[in-house]
Chain A
Amino acid sequence: MAEDEASRISAAAGVEPVLEAKGLSQGQIVRKRFLGHSGAIIGLVVFAFIFVLAFTSVGYLGIPGWWKYNHTQVSPLVNGGAPTSSLWPLAWGEHPFGQDRIGRDLFAMTMRGAQQSITIMIVIGLIAGLIGVVVGAISGYFRGWSEAILMRLTDVIIIIPALLLAAVMAALAGRRDQGSWFASFASTNGVLALGIFLGLISWVALARLMRGEFLSLREREFVDAARISGASNARIIFKHILPNAVGVLIVNVTLTMSAAILTETALSYLGVGVKAPDTSLGLLISQNQQAFATRPWLFWFPGMFIVLICLSINFIGDGLRDAFDPRQKKFNAKKAADHGGAAVQAGTVTGLGAPAPEDPRNDGPADGTRGQ
């Protein structure tokens, strides 16, 4: 393939592959780099699998799923509640993850918990991303008093502990009898309310990053050019600056989301997050940690799902960061030394369609954009 040859030559010269030189658009370059990142692709596949499994198995929003139990249903204990699934021979059984003390199906409960965690994660990502972009853009682009006010606001919010806010929200949501609109909303949509609430406080780091991006981008020539040709502020922000800052945004929203899963499970574990009779992965671990000696599976499966979801999101975030990071094109002295000088002389450094000096099929390109 021509691209591989090109990247091979430049890698040989100690310069990371120059995909830009091939006339690809920004989106194409990012997509190519991301798809070449094996860790990110594995993360994406694992996450998609968990997502589909969680949302189709026990049903969502009243739509029934294909699994025969739900997370509240009590059925007689099979095999003392131990997991019935086995790897050899591969079998699913009646209760693949086992049952708890009173006979609820752990698979259904874990899937329900995974649904909650993923919902909260997405809600937090959307809200934090939106507020972060708006606040960052306004303060970074307009400067002046709006920046002063917004940045002091983020300073205040950043030092207020999330635990306290979650506790206050849990207490307010618990007072159903008072009949405020918030209490009734929170008692019917506990998970959604928690996600919105956490989203409302986790935008601060994102807003600071976006402000930094806007501060440097607004001084660039293309912004001056747009302003001279009569573009409005809104057009400059949305058409000229934001597309250039989208890399930082996407990467950090992903990382915020992976942190959000751990926050949600930790809050549920401490008793101020998702509450019974609904369930969440953190709540399942908290409820079952005393039973570790007698029913360890109640503890293993929810924990493994937290780790799997978080790990796959982290790998996706890492792949995105590598794909968007312009610093990936740096000169690497060690690699130049490893590859020797012959290849450098044979090919051009820019890699514009020069013939390959060696067979591109022997060992894959050892560049920064491939692998993890």
Chain B
Amino acid sequence: MVTYIFRRLVTAALILLGASYLVYLLTAASGDPLEEFRANPTPQKQQLMDARTELLQLDTPAPLRYFKWFGGAVQCLVPFANSCDLGKNIAGQPITEALGFALVQTLTLVTAATVLAILIGITLGIVTALRQYSTLDYGVTFMAFLFFSLPIFWVAVLLKEFGAIGFNDFLRNPDVPLPAALGIGVVVGAVTAVAAGGTMRRRLLAGAVAFGFVTAVLIYFSATEWFKTPGLGPVVIAIAGVGIAFAVTLLSAGLKNRKALQSALIAVGVGVVFYFLLQPLLNEATFLMIVLLAVAFVLIGMGIGYLVGGYDRGQSMRAAAITSFLVGFLILLDRYMQAWPSYFNNSRVRGRPIATIGASTPNIQGDFWVLSLDSFTHLILPTLALILISLASYTRFTRASMLEIMNMDYIRTARAKGLSERTVIMRHAFRNALIPIATIVAFDIGALIGGAVITETVFSVRGMGFLFLDGIAHTDPNPVMGVFICVAITAMVFNLIADLAYSALDPRVRVKA
């Protein structure tokens, strides 16, 4: 095992060395960094050219300049020496500094999109595998192919047009006319009827309930101007919490486990009490406090599950902890909604909240809630675009993996010995279907740091992709090399992790020593 890891790391280092040399030469060959000065008629032309030559060490030919760069870059490997030197970019800024800034921007943009795409994609993949050859399956398959074929820059421009400009216009005068409410209700009802499964009668019933509910809610929202002053309130949190408690128990322990259901419901009750207790505290919120509160909610849930007990204490604890966490999330959502009017009427936002460019409104003032709402409204469109594009491969992959598992002999054995369908799917099939998905998730997390070059360009986010593209545009090898090294190292490390994880998760696969 150790030999294997060591060999892989040595090979990776050699590959990295060769590839980085090539990248350096290619970037240097792609243009002339002095070009903007050559046509410059001003008298200090020579001076400017000399300054840039000095800054980028242009007097050394590129094949040798690489080794100068390499000498600085190697120092990054020395721990705690703080002598990391990746050179400077064309504006004289150290690359390590620029990379740090770009990395934060990229990760805030891409992390949420990747996590959501993985969650939604796996869920859709499993549902379609369980309903193979149903209308839902065909519909989702077609959508997956469609999303797979969409050019992201096209989607991004469409989202800007309809998601930002259209939605902002709607928010200015938020009333939903009756035909629109009915239309949205019909669409939601039809989707629910298709997704529900079971007999035709059951599907139609589910569709009708969804239609009635959505239409009524939309008419209510329109009448009370909910979109201007949104909020959930304790009653909605309690009702939604009970729904969450039932759903979580159904999936994690089964409704037959009464103790688990009881602990989940108690967790909802405790959550509603906390809703009132936390309101004054949340006005002073910081990011750290939110994280601590999330941990506290999970711990409270586990405590409730422990106290309720039952024949399987672990299941009660799990159900209560997940429920408690989700109720905590609802309380957080409600607080964000309370902050919405003050954000909406902020002097810098001026009633057009959904932004199309950048990562935050320039010079915005406000408390924690306003600031995080601001980054949320900036992130929502690029995140949506990225989710749409990357959703398809997860869905297809999970569906294929799940179908293969469902045909295995041990699934038949599990059914034959009388296990409930929930146990067969959640315990025996789902966990094994996740093994191959774990590897592609590891790959994608490794690729995540490279950013989404095109998405960053369209939405003007100054992340890693932007840094890379900007370096290429100005024939500036140092930022290009910085981004390349970061991306290549993470990709290689995560490839190794993916291989090791596969052999750890699936004992049939062994790494070669």
Are A and B co-members of a single complex? Answer: yes
A residues adjacent to B (C-beta < 8 A): 152, 155-156, 159-161, 163-165, 167-168, 171-172, 258, 262, 265-266, 269-270, 272, 282, 285-286, 289, 292-293, 299, 303, 306-307, 310-311, 314-315, 318, 327, 330-334, 366, 371-372
Q: A160-B23, A164-B472, A165-B26 are in contact. Are A307 and B150 (CB under 8 A)?
A: yes
Q: Tell me the residues in window 455-505 of chain B with beta carbons closer than 8 Å to chain A beta carbons.
A: 457, 468-469, 472-473, 475, 480, 484, 487-488, 491-492
Contact partners of B453 in chain A: CB under 8 A: 163, 270
Contact partners of B40 in chain A: CB under 8 A: none
B154 touches A371 (CB 8 A): no
**CB<8 Å pairs between A and B, sample of 9:** A159-B488, A161-B23, A163-B468, A164-B27, A168-B29, A270-B454, A307-B146, A333-B406, A372-B138
Top 9 closest pairs, chain A to chain B, by CB: A310-B149, A168-B30, A311-B149, A171-B30, A303-B154, A167-B472, A156-B19, A171-B31, A155-B15
Q: Does B18 contact A (CB under 8 A)?
A: yes
A333 to B407 Cα, complex, angstroms: 6
A292 to B468 Cα, complex, angstroms: 28
A330 to B404 Cα, complex, angstroms: 9
Main secondary structure of the interface of A (DSSP, over half): helix
Query: Is the interface on chain B under 10, 10 to 19, 20 to 34, or 35 or more residues?
Result: 35 or more
B133 touches A366 (CB 8 A): yes
A270 touches B457 (CB 8 A): yes
Give 8 new A-B contacts, CB below 8 A, not counting A164-B480, A307-B149.
A156-B15, A161-B484, A165-B26, A172-B29, A270-B457, A306-B154, A314-B149, A372-B141
Main secondary structure of the interface of B (DSSP, over half): helix
Q: Does B161 contact A (CB under 8 A)?
A: yes
CB distance from A147 to the nearest CB of B (A): 14
Q: Which of chain A's residues has its CB closest to B484's CB?
A: A161
Contact partners of A163 in chain B: CB under 8 A: 453, 468-469, 472
Contact partners of B491 in chain A: CB under 8 A: 159
A167 to B471 Cα, complex, angstroms: 11
A332 to B148 Cα, complex, angstroms: 28
Contact partners of B145 in chain A: CB under 8 A: 311, 314-315, 318
B19 touches A160 (CB 8 A): yes
B residues adjacent to A (C-beta < 8 A): 11, 14-16, 18-19, 22-23, 26-27, 29-31, 132-133, 138, 141-142, 145-146, 148-154, 157, 161, 404, 406-407, 411-412, 415, 450, 453-454, 457, 468-469, 472-473, 475, 480, 484, 487-488, 491-492
A167 to B468 Cα, complex, angstroms: 11
CB distance from B468 to the nearest CB of A (A): 7
Q: Which of chain B's residues has its CB closest to A296's CB?
A: B161
Partner of A156, one of B22, B150, B450: B22
Q: Which of chain A's residues has its CB closest to B150's CB?
A: A307
A209 to B469 Cα, complex, angstroms: 31
A258 to B393 Cα, complex, angstroms: 14
CB distance from B329 to the nearest CB of A (A): 36
Partner of B154, one of A258, A285, A315, A331: A285
Interface centre among A282, A299, A333 (most CB of B within 10 A): A333
A282 to B404 Cα, complex, angstroms: 38
Q: Which of chain A's residues has its CB closest to B454's CB?
A: A266
Contact partners of B148 in chain A: CB under 8 A: 310, 314
Partner of A334, one of B11, B19, B132: B132
Partner of B407, one of A262, A310, A331: A331
CB distance from A149 to the nearest CB of B (A): 12
Contact partners of A171 in chain B: CB under 8 A: 29-31, 475
A286 touches B153 (CB 8 A): yes
CB distance from B435 to the nearest CB of A (A): 17
A299 touches B469 (CB 8 A): no
Contact partners of B475 in chain A: CB under 8 A: 171
Q: Which of chain B's residues has its CB closest to A306's CB?
A: B151
A285 to B16 Cα, complex, angstroms: 36
CB distance from B368 to the nearest CB of A (A): 35
A164 touches B26 (CB 8 A): yes
Q: Which of chain A's residues has its CB closest to B453's CB?
A: A163
Interface centre among A172, A286, A303 (most CB of B within 10 A): A303
Q: Which of chain B's residues has its CB closest to A292's CB?
A: B161
Contact partners of B138 in chain A: CB under 8 A: 371-372
Q: Which of chain A's residues has its CB closest to B154's CB?
A: A303
Contact partners of A270 in chain B: CB under 8 A: 453-454, 457, 469
A269 touches B153 (CB 8 A): yes
A289 to B484 Cα, complex, angstroms: 30
Contact partners of A310 in chain B: CB under 8 A: 148-149, 151
Q: Which of chain B's residues has its CB closest to A367's CB?
A: B133
Q: A168-B30, A366-B133 are in contact. Are A269 and B454 (CB under 8 A)?
A: yes
Contact partners of A366 in chain B: CB under 8 A: 133
Q: A159-B19, A311-B145, A371-B133 are in contact. Are A285 and B30 (CB under 8 A)?
A: no
Interface centre among A165, A167, A270, A311 (most CB of B within 10 A): A167
CB distance from A139 to the nearest CB of B (A): 15
A200 to B145 Cα, complex, angstroms: 27
A269 to B453 Cα, complex, angstroms: 12
B157 touches A266 (CB 8 A): no
A197 to B488 Cα, complex, angstroms: 22
Contact partners of B161 in chain A: CB under 8 A: 292-293
Contact partners of B30 in chain A: CB under 8 A: 164, 167-168, 171-172
CB distance from B466 to the nearest CB of A (A): 11
Contact partners of B450 in chain A: CB under 8 A: 161
Q: A164-B480, A314-B148, A334-B406 are in contact. Are A285 and B153 (CB under 8 A)?
A: yes
A310 to B31 Cα, complex, angstroms: 33
A13 to B134 Cα, complex, angstroms: 20
CB distance from A263 to the nearest CB of B (A): 10
Contact partners of B487 in chain A: CB under 8 A: 159, 161
Q: Which of chain A's residues has its CB closest to B145's CB?
A: A314
A209 to B15 Cα, complex, angstroms: 20
Q: Which of chain B's residues has its CB closest to A269's CB?
A: B153
A293 to B161 Cα, complex, angstroms: 8
Contact partners of A168 in chain B: CB under 8 A: 26-27, 29-30
Contact partners of B154 in chain A: CB under 8 A: 285, 299, 303, 306-307
Q: Which of chain B's residues has its CB closest to A318's CB?
A: B145
Q: Which of chain B's residues has its CB closest to A302's CB?
A: B154
Contact partners of A303 in chain B: CB under 8 A: 151, 154
